[in-house]
Amino acid sequence: MTQQASPQASPPRALRWAVAGSVIVMIAAGGLFYYASQLAASKRQAHQGEITVTIHPKRCEPNALTVAAGHASFRIVNRSDRAVEWEILDGVLVVEERENIAPGLSQVINANLQPGDYAITCGLLSNPRGTLHVTPTAQSDAQAKARPSMVAFIGPLSEFRVYLSTQGSALIKAVANLQQAVEAGDLKQAQALYLPARAAYQRLAPAAQRLAELDNGINARADYFEQREQDPGFAGFHRLEYGLFEQRDLSGLAPVAQRLSSDVASLKQQLLAQTLAPEQLVSVVARNIRSLAEQRANSGEEERYSHSDLNGFAANLETTRKVIDLLRPLLAKSAAPLLPQVDSAAQALAARLDSLRDGFGYVSYDKVSAEQRTEIADKAKALADALDGIDPALGLSGL
């Protein structure tokens, strides 16, 4: 009988464990639900200040905006059938932009805006532009009065102007050589000369991308034209790239090369004519490196026909390191601990790009694995984050 009682005691014990387990599961589920609801509430709170702009095939909605000066966040939702861009323009200058927003997706643009009136571009280059009115605030007025002395920045800004002039001359010469090869009907030579010409442009790209109209003529991808590659407005580097590497045909490229030669000459003139404020010196290269991290590194869309993306990344980094060196004396005085972080991030990106060299150049980007592209993007993001610390360290944040 004692042996028979033992099995009868097991079910109640198992039942108690089952009930306890159910309670634990319920508590855990309740905790997870609470965590998820708090996380969702936190996200809603974080996004409360976002202004949503929806890009349709032919327009943006809304296309007239008013915001207060200071930090503003815009969530750009793409309801068109192609990857598009959205820009804030101050005259001919790009204040902020987001490129390659995929169909059906959204991206956030964070901008620090001064009082004034701006234009906004919306998707295709042929779409009508909108307006953005930024009203002054007490904080923006106070920041304007608290602006640091500009005397310390005269040297770096002057030297950067010399750099732009030198690189502008190099670009003009490289494009002239490319034009000659195109006009001579030498496809192989034109393909070879495209790469140094494109790299020369990418050294200027951080500053050139501020000049909206001219940069569109030089650098716009086919996506931004209604008929894509067949659109009459599609010109510049990417039209040449399409003919040289995709079609492998020089037919009709002579006028494109001629116009590009004219445009890069105008680019040098306009870059030297524009005033660059101290707070824009770092921001132009930081924005360029961040676009590498968030869009160009993983997509491979920038040089989709020639797959020469790595050449452009290295040229972008060269200009970024130039800006770091120009500001090095100021940073050594005001933010010595920041310098090793910036230098380390720049060196890490350089080392990753160098590991993909192939002889005197770089491997074709279609041969770069997804993992390697992610590594490039991660290191570019680390550099962009480090660069973002420079302006606050120099007293230029919020200006």
For the chain, percent of residues with pLDDT exceeding 70:
84
Ramachandran bin of 398, using left for φ above 0, alpha for ψ from -120 to 50, beta for the remaining angles: left
Using pLDDT thresholds of 50, 70 and 90, give the confidence band for residue 360: confident
pLDDT at 147: 52
Q: Which amino acid is at 213?
A: E
Tell me what the mean pLDDT of segment 232-260 comes to: 97
Range of weakest confidence among 42-46, 157-161, 183-187, 288-292 = 42-46
The CATH code of the domain at 279-391 is 1.20.1420.20
C-alpha angle with apex 283: 115 to 198, nearest 5 degrees? 125
* The 64-68 sheet, strands edge to edge: 64-68, 130-135, 116-122, 84-90, 93-101
Mean pLDDT of 215-240: 94
For position 168, what pLDDT does the model report?
A: 98
The CA distance from 373 to 299, in Å, is 9
Mean pLDDT throughout 22-29?
Answer: 44
Residue 148's pLDDT band (cuts 50, 70, 90): low
What are the phi and psi torsion angles at 57 (to 5°)?
-55, -35
- CATH code of the domain occupying 51-145: 2.60.40.420
- Annotated domain spans of the chain: 51-145, 150-276, 279-391
For 234, phi then psi, to 5°, come to -70, 115
- Least reliable range by pLDDT among 34-38, 238-242, 265-269: 34-38
Residue 100's nearest CA partner among 364, 368, 304, 369 is: 304
Q: What pLDDT is attached to residue 141?
A: 66
* Angstrom distance (rounded) from CA 61 to CA 74: 12
Q: Do domains 51-145 and 279-391 have the same CATH topology?
A: no
Query: What architecture does CATH give domain 150-276?
Result: Up-down Bundle (1.20)
Amino acid identity of residue 366, one-letter, is D
DSSP state of 305: T
